[in-house]
Structure 1
Amino acid sequence: MKLIGPIIATLITASSAAAQTDCTVSFDVITAKDHGAIAAGSVLKGTVTFTANEEYRQDVETLSYLSNGTTQLTAADGTQVTGNIGVVHVVRTPYTADYISIDATGVTGNLGGVGSYEDPMLVTLYAAPLTLETSALPATPDDWSLLSKRRMFQVHTPDTMAILPGTIENLTGSCE
């Protein structure tokens, strides 16, 4: 009987090799505040490309995908910020919101002339509770469009962890 608890814990947190899933997402970010030479209200172009290689259940509501890829945000003047995607979380909850969080680290760039960044860089897409039918990554543009309740971007700088936040618009995505 003493083995049942550890066995159940192992089953819940075990990872599994999933078939590789390649995803591409593009969007605009409307900046919420100034960032170097980038004025609040500016429209920046964002892209996310990643391959999900392995999945693991963090808890009953969260399925996480170990991934390789990049998140990039580019201004009209060509300056940009880029991060390496390591994990994508799909959260399904009846309490507050369903959401997908795309987490990037190793953030570098020169967006708006700002040359120093801190991790993480996040793309978070929210839907109403219980909108997502499964914890699978959205496959079609219609699946990605379900995540429309709130769409946020943020990247951190080392200056007292100042954040460049932005609202995501014109999102389109697909996974194969």
Structure 2
Amino acid sequence: MTDKSKPSIAQRRSAARFAAIQALYQADVSQVAAGRVVQEYSEFRLDGLGQRDADEPNENLIDPDRGFFADLVQGVENRLDDIDDLINGALEKGWTVKRLESVLRSIMRAGTYELMMREDVPMRVVITEYVDAAHSFFDENEPRLVNAVLDRIGKSLRPLEANKD
């Protein structure tokens, strides 16, 4: 990217969210601690996130906000039981977070953590970001589920903010 088109904070955070979803998926399926995954991503993956050929750098790639990325991944691990309880409470009866597909589970966990702990980010921004991420991996049903679950959680965690809409 040229200096004239330097990515905004919002763009860098979006890139961090996407990387966090991937890292949470990796931690979930491989049962590796979040700190180790954050270290691996920081050392080997974040610089070239999405880059196929190291010899031809893609100037359009956005460098993720590394602090935000680490907060999301480690925060999910640190608050996993609380996060899963909130998701379970927002899912339809008979469904649990453990029944969700791994990527979908990672998306919902990251979004729930952000709603819980990142009050500096508006509720609508959180929901929109994770619904958009869900569209990157899934068709219609999963993004709608992400929207419904995060909306329910957001309304319970941030009632004053939810009532503004």
Structure with the higher strand share, 1 or 2: 1
Instruction: Tell me, yes or no, whether TM beats 0.5.
Output: no
Structure with the higher helix share, 1 or 2: 2
TM-score between the two structures when normalised by the length of structure 2: 0.25
